Structure 1
Amino acid sequence: MDIAPNAALVVVDVQQGFDEPFWGPRNNPSADENIAALIAAWQETGRPVVFVRHDSSKPESPLRPGYAGNDFKKYVEERRGLGSGPELLVTKTVNSAFYGSPDLDAWFKAAGIRQFAVTGIQTNMCVETTARMGGNLGYEVLLPLDATHTFDLAGPFGWHRSADELARATAVSLHGGGFATVVTTAGLLAACR
């Protein structure tokens, strides 16, 4: 795969609150290691990195502002500001990073960015919504599925899906629907370097 010299890495909601039991069983225990490797590679090659933080408006949420769970996980916070490329912090209260502040689409356009990789938490929620909207906006979106994770989820009619099932469904929807190209962390690292 070809990675543009100015391709952005969008790191979605890698926050301490997602380590709490509140969410239930998760998948992909190697996600954090893969996310860390991608941040390091992007910073080492001078590419732009966007850190996205979810500021939940729900008073019981582990991601609410003023609560420790709102903070980025330690390995993310320690990497902020270390790259030679541009960096942006986006805060949001909804799923898509494109509905955050500052305006991600405007920042991408001003920098001439047409390609981005999206990683983070949760695969089928904020990561998927950001990827889907990026595809709708005409960006070339790459999704390293193994650099994301999610949690088991209950739905209507007594349906329940495991985190792995939800992640696979996201991958099929995004890739098969043409919103994003689903890749691996290893493939993305090789192309980036």
Structure 2
Amino acid sequence: MVSIPASAALILIDLQRAIDHPSWGIRNNPNAERVGANLLAAWRSSGRAVYHVRHDSVEPGSTYRPGQPGHDFKPEFVPHADEPVTPKHTGSAFVGTDLDERMATGCHQVLVIFGVITNNSVEATVRHAGCLGYRVLLVADACFTFAKTDWTGVRRSAEEVHAMSLANLHGEYCTVATSAEILGAL
């Protein structure tokens, strides 16, 4: 049973138009945006805090680079005026940002996280949050990733990459949960 205190914060990771560029390849969880948007709406209705993380890539060829259309938030995840945006330049939303300070100021010890890419910025942020002592709930069906070739040259499907990331995180760094479990606890 998942429990979520009123002081919990929802953190959305890199939900920008950049992730829709075809160069990323084949993804899993085709309904992740719908699931995430429903969760965000319910979270907002509960009156709990929402924080958005925006990737501001410094790589010249990145689809996340500022000043281009991919840098914009996806329409269903545009922040409200009272929802802080934390820009980041690395995988973890806690590196080189004020996110940890914002969590301390807001007395947020429980973090509910979803976004993209499961095995990149989501995994880095969840690991970092767990190491900092936060209780983290990762919403599996509101995250997605892409197919990837592993170190031995074997092509892994997006679903395999996603599942392995969740397995790497669950227990030590977070509790992996479904959106239904999170919604049921609000």
Question: 1:24, 1:100 → 2: CA distance?
Answer: 29
| 2:43 corresponds to 1:49 | no
Aligned-pair CA distance for 1:8:
0.5
Q: 2: distance between equivalents of 1:165 and 1:155?
A: 11
Query: Which residue is 2:90 aligned to?
Result: 94
Cα distance in 2 for partners of 1:24, 1:64 equals 18
Cα RMSD of the aligned pairs, angstroms, is 1.2
Offset at residue 160 of structure 1 (A): 2.2
Name the SS for the 1:158 alignment partner. Answer: coil
Match of 1:182 among 167, 176, 182: 176
TM-score (norm 2): 0.95
| Amino acid corresponding to residue 113 of structure 1 in structure 2 | H
Q: TM-score if structure 1 supplies the norm length? A: 0.92
Percent identical among aligned pairs is 42
Q: Tell me which residue corresponds to 1:76.
A: 77
Q: Is 1:8–1:47's contact at 8 Å kept on the other side of the alignment?
A: yes
Aligned partner of 1:171 in structure 2 is: 166
Which stretch shows the higher mean deviation, 33-42 or 141-150?
33-42
1:55–1:91: 8 Å Cα contact kept in structure 2? yes
Q: Give ranges in structure 2 of 5+ residues lacking alignment.
A: none
The one-character-per-residue Cα deviations of 1:15-56 (angstroms, maximum 9, x if unpaired) are 101111010000000100111011111111111111111011
How much does 1:88 deviate?
Answer: 1.4
In 2, Cα distance between equivalents of 1:160 and 1:93: 28
**Given that residues 90 and 100 in structure 1 are in contact (C-alpha distance below 8 angstroms), is that contact kept between their aligned partners in structure 2?**
no
Structure 1 unaligned runs (5+)?
Answer: none
- Count how many residue pairs are aligned between Structure 1 and Structure 2: 185
1:149 aligns with 2:144: yes
**Match of 1:29, SS?**
coil
Instruction: Look up the match of 2:130.
Output: 135
CA contact (8 A) 1:121 1:150 kept: yes
Partner SS, residue 66 of structure 1? coil
Residue 142 of structure 1 aligns to a residue in which SS?
strand
Q: Which moves more between the two structures, 153-162 or 120-129? A: 153-162
Q: 1:161 aligns with which of 156, 160, 165?
A: 156
Instruction: Report the Cα offset of residue 100 of structure 1.
Output: 4.5
CA distance in 2, matches of 1:25, 1:175: 24
Distance between the aligned counterparts of 1:100 and 1:69, measured in 2? 22
